[in-house]
């Protein structure tokens, strides 16, 4: 049996090499730490009981989002109606290999943001358009605007409660492309949406299990953004790989432990 065939039948060799399996593998340790056992539920999810007993904590938990009230707010226009059927938008979705350099409208960007992770008023209180563990909503959206009509090039934070954007600063397009590791696939983009996680928002209730919930939620938001982009004839591609410390420095304000970027949508025409 040649080497390729041997590795094809023994995937452990592909992952671990030919050495003996270790007992301190970081990925396996993380997965084990996020498991829930019936006998240890009280400390696996330490904040569940406390949250159920406190109306104050419940109210605070439903208003999750970074706030930059000291910065000027740019109100977003009302989202557009998308008339394409769900069947058609699923069929038409593609991960774009490149972008042509055209711009998108502020209304289109508003539609992607507000209909993917904006505020939805319901009788039980404010919610978002996606499922979230405990309705804690531990994510924030940062926009890297490159070619958006009526919006200056820069980095912005999406405020779902005030339905607007606050400008965080400027950036270099070339620097951003290098951070995303696939420069040819990113260049000439119109906008990017960086999904960042505030892990503590979920961890105070669900302990280590919260990390699974956070990553699941990022996937829900990304799928919303991809489908909304497709419905508006905007090309898009999700990126899970990037240089973490450089992206955090570009946006600013992250410590890389309690909060960090975890997923990015690149979009354009």
The answer for 74, left when phi > 0, alpha when psi is -120 to 50, beta otherwise, is: beta
Mean pLDDT value across the chain: 88
Quick one: average pLDDT of 155-181?
Answer: 96
Token output for 6: 């041997």
Of 32-41, 109-118, 172-181, which gets the smallest average pLDDT? 32-41
Examine the domain organization and report whether 50 and 92 are in the same domain: yes
Query: Domain range holding 262?
Result: 34-268
Give yes or no: residues 131 and 22 share one domain.
Answer: no
DSSP for 195-252, written as a single string? EEEEHHHHHHHHGGGHHHHHHHHHHHHHHHHHHHHHHTT-EEEEE----HHHHHHHH-
| Range of weakest confidence among 94-108, 115-129, 188-202 | 115-129
pLDDT score for 206 = 86
Give the pLDDT score at 1.
47
Compute the average pLDDT of residues 173-202: 95
The domain tally of the chain equals 2
The verdict on pTM exceeding 0.85 is yes
The Cα 247–Cα 195 span in angstroms is: 11
- Per-residue pLDDT at 46: 67
Identify the band that residue 26 occupies on the pLDDT scale cut at 50, 70 and 90.
Answer: confident
185 and 150 together in one domain: yes
Q: Would the pLDDT of 131 be above 80?
A: yes
The mean per-residue pLDDT over the stretch 99-113 comes to 97
- Check whether residue 6 and residue 81 sit in a common domain: no
Q: Determine the pLDDT at residue 226.
A: 98
How many CB atoms are located within 10 Å of the residue 177 CB? Answer: 18
Say yes or no: 41 and 148 in one domain. Answer: yes
> Does one domain contain both 138 and 263?
yes
167 and 53 in a common domain: yes
pLDDT at 24: 76
Query: The CATH number of the domain where 187 resides is what?
Result: 3.40.109.10
The arithmetic mean of pLDDT across residues 218-232, rounded, is: 98
For residues 228 and 257, membership in a common domain is answered with yes
The Cα–Cα gap between 210 and 257 comes to 14
Does residue 19 sit in the same domain as residue 124?
Answer: no
Overall average pLDDT of the 62-86 stretch: 89
Residues 125 and 19 placed together within one structural domain of the fold: no
Residues 24 and 155 reside in one and the same domain: no
Q: Are residues 22 and 46 in the same domain?
A: no
Beta bridge partners of 104: 148
């Amino acid at each position: 049996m040649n080497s390729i065939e041997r590795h094809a039948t023994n995937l452990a060799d592909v992952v671990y090499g030919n050495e003996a399996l270790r007992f301190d593998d970081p990925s396996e340790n993380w997965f084990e730490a996020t498991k829930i056992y019936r006998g240890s539920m009280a400390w696996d999810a330490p904040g569940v009981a406390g949250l159920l007993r406190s109306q104050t904590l419940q109210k605070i938990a439903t208003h999750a989002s970074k706030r930059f009230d000291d910065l000027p707010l740019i109100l977003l226009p009302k989202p557009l109606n998308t008339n394409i059927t769900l069947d058609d938008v699923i069929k038409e979705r593609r991960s774009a290999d490149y972008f042509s350099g055209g711009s998108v409208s502020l209304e289109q960007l508003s539609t992607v943001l507000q209909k993917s992770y904006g505020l939805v008023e319901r009788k039980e209180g404010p919610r978002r358009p996606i499922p979230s563990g405990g309705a804690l909503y531990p994510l924030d959206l940062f926009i890297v605007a490159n070619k958006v009509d009526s919006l200056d090039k820069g980095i912005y934070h999406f405020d779902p409660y005030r339905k607007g954007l606050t400008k965080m600063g400027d950036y270099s397009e070339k620097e951003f492309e290098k951070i995303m590791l696939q420069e040819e696939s990113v260049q000439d983009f119109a906008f990017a949406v960086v999904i960042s996680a505030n892990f503590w928002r979920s961890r105070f209730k669900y302990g280590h299990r919260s990390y699974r919930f956070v990553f699941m939620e990022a996937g829900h938001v990304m799928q919303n953004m991809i489908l909304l982009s497709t419905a508006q004839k905007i090309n898009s591609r999700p990126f899970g790989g990037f240089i973490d410390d450089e992206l955090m420095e570009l946006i600013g304000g992250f410590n890389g432990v309690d909060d960090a970027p975890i997923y990015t949508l690149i979009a354009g025409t």
